[in-house]
Every structure is written in structure tokens, then in C-alpha cells.
Chains A and B, each alone.
Chain A
Amino acid sequence: MARLTLEGLSFTYPDAKAPALCDVDLQIEGGEFLTLMGATGSGKSTLLRLLKPELRQNGTLSGRVLLDGKDIGGLTARESASAVGFVAQNPEEQIVTDKVWHELAFTLESLGARRELIARRIAEIAAFFDIEPWLDRETATLSGGQKQLLNLAAVMTADPEVLILDEPTAQLDPIAASRFIDTLHRLNRETGLTVIISEHRAEELIPISDRLLILEEGRLAFCDTPKKAASALKDTAYLRFLTASARIFAGTDGAGEAPLSVREGQAYVNGLTVKEIQTAEKTAEQKASALSLKNVYFRYERRGADVLSDLDLEVKEGEIFALLGRNGAGKSTMAAVAAGLRRAYSGSVRVFSKRLKDYTNGSLYQGVLSLLPQDTENVFLRETVREELCGCEKAEERLPFDFKPLYDRHPFDLSGGERQLAALCKALSTNPRLLILDEPSKGLDGNMKALLCGVLKGLKREGVTILMISHDVEFAALCADRCALFSQGRIAAADETETFLFENRFYTTAASRITRQKTRGGYTVERAVKLLGGAGC
């Protein structure tokens, strides 16, 4: 008998015309690892939430979900809380209590477990997830990756049979994300836990998944093993959910079994011939500096450690510059120093060749520089989008996006991508010549990323200089002119995107890893396909 059975599952939200989920039938065996993909709004979250009775939203539901043959709605509160574990997207907000150990105890406390059992389970879980070293810390002081790991561990204390994860790594940097996915894989492999995860990170997930599900407008568009997916989806739009190897394979009309991992991709590419295309001559003109930091030192507390030490950075006018690096390395601090929100204790910061302190009375933030933070929530002050964007009409025209349908919505009710664009619109309202963006692609899906990339390139054409701080190498590869790696409080290397990604072995895109033995320019899938003689994808 299947562990989880979905029978004709449909769901419609109260005010919606079309159902969010339409007639989904699915059988999931115990110990399976399932990856769920689909565009934003395709019904992924709706589907996953239906599997956890506590999280079902208001609306009309038809069909059944059976857990080991029993209807999941018929379980008692305690049974269902412990049978199905759920981890959501936002690492911060899922944490309930103040201390790490207390967070681990919370689930069992709620289920009324004995003290001895709780103590034993905490010890066990802390060892498995390697969180013993920070068991006594306050939850607010953890990094994003640690928080999400804690959420997973806290859910696992109840010993669930099925684990459901709704975009758990969307807010994490790539290193924390792959650690998280490794832990999931280990759980699945070593304890036979059934895992259902919705996520965009194809590179890490597809090679370890048993089955791949693709949702489109509430319907199950595809459901089979990843190997089969690579050949079955070859000529469809769903190809974008697959790994770089499979996409290059499809783009170059490969025959036979499709490669999935980087290793398989390399073997495939090595059998192809590269056609060298002439790239446009680089304009070697000397451009003026938009932002320059020289020998900058910064620390938060007098006795603390240096967060920035001997940092040099030069961003030229009219370029898109991407600063990459691990989370918590000090990238955001550098942005704050560059934007004059924090003062470096040594070194000089110049914006358009003028020292920061020469911009008096906030004139820096009027028409010169604008900084958009990671958490776009704190950009919005008002109750509706209309009030929020009042006075931003000019900026609205510069963006290829129609905000009018969103005017009456509350800013918090927008989707991640819409919110990012609205925030960008506000940042542009002061008409800045230098725009600093902190993690602009965080939590966005592929389509939204492409749109944002187009927006940034458009702004560049208008002469806006953009400094982008990101851990998303793939996004930087799409739109940056130059890239730099941030490490140990300084810039480790800055170079043209092509050289940067070719010379990096680890901090580079999957496409670059696959094609590097043949060519140095194939750092995005599109470029790789073009270079390897495909018709384009």
C-alpha cells in the first residue's frame, strides 16, 4: 500500500474563479524522494498545504488524501501533527521560541511528551543535525542556514513519517542550501523518510530525486523519474526546470540517454565540437568611477573583529557589477558602508569621485545613490500599493511592468517578485545614478529572474550604475558585466564575468563547469548551447 495517496484532489480559493488545484491523482511510496516544480502560482504551495491538515486554507476541497490508507482529515490533532512534518520557506518566521534547545523541545512539549523522552530526543536530533555546538544560543542570533536547519530538526523531533518542504532553501545562500539538501538526502537515505519538496534548485535536487513532478495551472503536467523527464520534456517549456546538463543536451539536439549531473554533462559535451563565434570587440574606453572604496576598515564594536579589512573596490560608471560571496561574509555591511549608513573607521569611500561626508543633509540619497535591502518588506510604509507608489510615476514608466492592477492591494499581499519590483520602483523614485541592490534575486523563480535581469539591463542603458550584492551566481552570470568574490572582509578577485566564471572552479555556474574543458564562454546555458552549435533554446 502506498504511504500517501492523493485521489482526485481539487481545491478552489474563496474568491477565485478557477481552481488552484485540479484533479490531482498521485501515489507516493514510503521512502520516496519527490521533487515538485512549477512556476509561481502553479499551485505548488496549495498542493503541499493540503497534505498537512493544520495548514489547509479556507476554500472548497474535493477529493481525498490518504495516509497509509486512512483519510488524513480524520486523524486526531496529535496524530496528524506528528505524522506529517512541514517546513516552509521563511527560516526566520517559523521559529517560535527564544532558545535553540527550547525550539527543539517545542514540538514534543505541544504533544505532551514526558520530560525524559524530550531530553533524549533533543540529544539524538542535536547529534544527527550537528547542532550541539549552538544548542544554548538564542535563536535570533543564528544565520539563515542555521535557522532553516533548526526548523527541519525541530520538525523531525516528532518523528514524522512524511516530510513536506515548501521552497525551504529559497532564502539561503548556495552553500547553506546544498548543506540543507544534503541533510535531507541523508535523512531520506538513512531513515527511509518520505520526502516531498518543492524547490527551484534543479542542480542539487534532480540527481537525488526518485520522481519529478511538474505542476502547471493546478494540474499535474509531468510525473516520472528525472531520467525520463530529460528526454520526455525535451521540446517543451518545462525544460527550464531541469539541470544545466539536460538543457544543454536538449539545446544541442543530443541523442540517447540525457545527462543529468555535471559529470555526465561534461562527458556529453566533450564529444561535441565547439564553433567559435566572434564576440563583439570590447570597448576599452576608460570610464569614470561611480563608487570607489580604498583601504576600508570597519567593525561593529570597538572590541569586535574587523568585518571589512583593507577592502578595495571600484565600480565604474554605467556597469552592472556583481559582488558574490557567502552569506554573513560582510557583503551587506560593505553595502551599508558604501551607502554611508555605517562609517568606516579607516579608509576612504567616494561616490562619483566625491567623498561621502561632502554629501551633506542627506543629499546623497536624493538623486545620487539608492540602496535596496534584502528584506523588501521594510521598504513599505503604507497600506496600499497606490499610496506607496504615489510620487513614483516617472520611475513606474521606466519599468516594463504594469503596477496598476496591484494598486489596491496591500504591499504585504504581493508575491515575492511583484514586491521586489515595487521596491525597486520606490528606490528609483529619487532618480539615483548609482543603485545598490542587496540580493535582488532572492526567492524569485526563473521567469521573474529573467524579467528582473531585463529591467537591470534596461536601467544600465539609461546610464544607471548598478552594484549588485548576491550569492546567486547563476543570476550574476545572466546580467553582470563584472564580478568579484568577497571573502575575509575584502575583495578576493574582480574580473570580467567571463574570465571570472571560467577561472573559478567552485564559485561558478553549472553550465560553466560542464563546458569549461571545451570553451571558456559557455557560462550560461544559452551561451553554451550557442557555442556548441545548437539552434538555441
Chain B
Amino acid sequence: MRRFEDMNPLCAAFYYLCVLGLTMFGMNPLTLSLSLLSSILSAVLFGAVKGRGHAFSLILFLIAALINPLIVHNGMTVLFYFNDNPITLEAVLYGLTAAGMITASLYWLRCLSKVMTSDKVLYIFGRFSPKLALLLSMSLRFIELLRVRWRKIQDTQKALGLYRDGNLIDALRGRARVLSVLIGWTLENGIVTAESMEGRGYGSGRRTSYSAYRMHLSDWLFLPVCAGLTAVAVVGQVRSTVVFYPDMQMELWNLWGILGAAAFAVLGTLPLIINAKEALRWRGLLSKV
């Protein structure tokens, strides 16, 4: 079973580049509402955002929506006055659209973070620069090591009587000392790592970058489909008119606008479609076992 998460990382990267680009660069209310809906759906189904995350997004949405009418007073239709400043319908609607854009982008990014594990990030960097991928991989290992060691040094020093007074200054000074030991120890031992690298051929010539990921037929198919849908959605956005200030002019429901929105709807739910299809196929396969 090849779920969206198991596809080549380039596909996932390209996909999120497309949806994020369409979401961030457009201010089309139609596309943005579709984007918001599909991003929330994606985030829930991928398990990228849980209870508290949704609450945070809601608060962010509200704040982002409120800021614009409170600061920007352009627009013809005045709704009411607040502190002697006009609050206009246009500014309110713009604020809502911008808030939708920001919220949707954040939901997409959460999905991206969930799907793009460190392995996949490394794979993509390895394509550009094997050396950089190695540097990233080494840093990731050192992060884990530092975490383990921090704990160990903290314990050791405590048991040897480092934290005597139990006040804040003592705690801070102790932390700084522990950090200092941590750095010294890690740098010192790092030389062994460097020797191990040299012993195993580092710097003997050009590196290659290995990864278990390969391009399957489905990956090759995915990329043009994704690009095609994006292209249609872009044309749809260009052909529709969205003007907020000073007077709202919206023309969303022409042929291209509808086509573009439809393309975006498919694009936004593409990973879900793939996973549903794979799940169905899996059921069929299992029944044969």
C-alpha cells in the first residue's frame, strides 16, 4: 500500500508548494474558503492538528480578521464608528479573507510538517547537495545526543553537590555550567566522529547521497497532475476579479473562475483521494489473502 505519506518526498514537497502558493499568493475568497476547508480536513485526517491546535487557529483567525478593520479605514461603505474611526465593510471583508488565507496556510504547513519527516527533508536536500544533507543528518544526531547528555550531566552535577542553595541565581549559574560542560564534552568527542568519517572515506572525492526513496510510476504521474491542476487554478484566479478598495468588485463565477475553483477542490483533497483509493485497494487485496 502506497499512501500519500509513502510517496517520493519530492511529490509531497511539490504538492505543498502548489497548495501553499495558491493559498498565500491569491486573495480570492472562493479559492480561499475551499483551501481552508480542505486544509482542515487534511490536517484532521493526517492527525497533524489536535484539539488545542484548532482552538489556537480559531483565536488566530479572529485576531487576524479584527486587526485590518481596526487599522485600515479605506473603503466606501462605513458600518459604524469606533473611537471616531470609521469601520468599513470592505476592510472587514478584507480582514476575513486575509485571516482565512493565514489560517489555511498554517493548516497546510502543519500537514507539511507532519508528512515531511526529517528523512524526507534530508532526501530533498541530498538532491541539491549531498554534503549539506550530511551536515543536516549529523546535526540531527547531535541534537539527540545533546538531549541525552544534558540529562546525564545535570544528574551527575546534582549528585556531586552543584546546586547548593536552591535559588534562581544558583539554578541559572548551574545551568550555564552544565551547558558549558555539555559543549566541551561534545566538541571534544566530536573529534572521534571526524576520525571515523575520514576512516570511512569522507573527503576522498565526490559524495553520493543514498536514500531508500525512489520514483515510482505513480510519482511520475502525480507530478503532472498536480502541476496541471495548479495551472488551471492559477488561470481561474487571474481571470476572476477581486478588488476590495475603495469599492468592492468581485467577479468570481465566470467559466474560468468555476473551473479554477473545481481544480483547486480536487488539488486540495488529492492526498485524501489517493489514500482513500489505496485503502479501498488494500481491502480488495486483503480479501484475496
Contacts and interface: CB of A to CB of B under 8 A. Distances in A.
Direct touching of A and B (C-beta under 8 Å): yes
Contact of B205 (A90, A92, A112, A151): A112
Nearest to B206: A112
A111 B188 CA distance: 27
A113 B208 CA distance: 7
B158 interface: yes
Interface in B193-239: 193, 195-210, 212
A428 to B, nearest CB: 10
Nearest to B147: A140
A362 B164 contact: yes
A95 B193 contact: yes
B138 to A, nearest CB: 6
B210 A105 contact: yes
Interface stretch (A184-192, A203-211, A368-376, A458-466): A368-376
Contacts of B185: 377-378, 412
Contacts of A427: 160
B210 A109 contact: yes
Interface stretch (A21-29, A31-39, A77-85, A274-282): A77-85
Interface in A80-123: 81-82, 85-86, 88, 90, 92-99, 101-102, 105-115, 118-119
B204 A81 contact: yes
Residue of A95, A98, A111 with most partner-chain B CB within 10 A: A98
Given A336-B155, A378-B152, A88 B141 contact: no
Given A94-B192, A95-B193, A378-B153, A341 B158 contact: yes
A93 B159 contact: no
Contact of B160 (A76, A98, A112, A365): A365
Interface string A345-388: 00000000000000001100110011101010111110000000
B169 interface: no
Nearest to B199: A86
Contacts of B184: 412
B210 A118 contact: yes
A95 B158 CA distance: 29
Nearest to B190: A93
A126 interface: no
B148 interface: yes
Contacts of A375: 152, 156
B134 interface: yes
Contacts, number: 170
A379 B160 contact: yes
B196 A96 contact: yes
Interface residues of A, number: 64
B72 interface: no
A513 B165 CA distance: 52
Nearest to B153: A378
B192 A90 contact: yes
B192 A378 contact: no
Contacts of A370: 159-161
Given A109-B207, A155-B200, A375-B152, A102 B137 contact: yes
A304 to B, nearest CB: 16
B141 A95 contact: yes
A97 B200 contact: no
B144 A108 contact: no
A430 B166 CA distance: 18
A139 interface: yes
Contacts of B205: 77-78, 111-112
A52 interface: yes
Contacts of A371: 156, 159-160
B204 A78 contact: yes
A47 interface: no
B207 A341 contact: no
B13 interface: no
A68 interface: no
Interface string A145-189: 000000100110010000000000000000000000000000000
A373 B177 contact: no
A88 B196 contact: yes
A257 interface: no
Contact of B181 (A77, A94, A381): A381
A162 to B, nearest CB: 12
A339 interface: yes
Contacts of B155: 336, 341, 373
A369 B158 CA distance: 11
Interface in B134-183: 134, 137-138, 140-141, 144-145, 148-149, 152-153, 155-161, 163-164, 166, 177, 180-181
Given A85-B199, A102-B122, A109-B209, 18 more contacts: A77-B201, A82-B201, A92-B145, A93-B189, A94-B196, A95-B193, A96-B200, A97-B134, A98-B140, A110-B207, A112-B205, A112-B207, A139-B144, A140-B144, A141-B144, A155-B199, A378-B153, A430-B161
14 contacts: A55-B195, A55-B198, A78-B201, A82-B201, A99-B119, A101-B212, A108-B210, A109-B130, A110-B207, A362-B164, A378-B149, A378-B157, A378-B181, A379-B156
Interface of A: 52, 54-55, 76-78, 81-82, 85-86, 88, 90, 92-99, 101-102, 105-115, 118-119, 138-141, 151, 154-155, 158, 336, 339, 341, 361-362, 365-366, 369-371, 373, 375, 377-381, 412, 426-427, 430
Can you list the 7 inter-chain pairs with the closest CB atoms, starting with the nearest?
A81-B201, A140-B144, A77-B204, A93-B192, A110-B201, A371-B159, A105-B210
Interface of B: 118-119, 122, 130, 134, 137-138, 140-141, 144-145, 148-149, 152-153, 155-161, 163-164, 166, 177, 180-181, 184-185, 188-190, 192-193, 195-210, 212
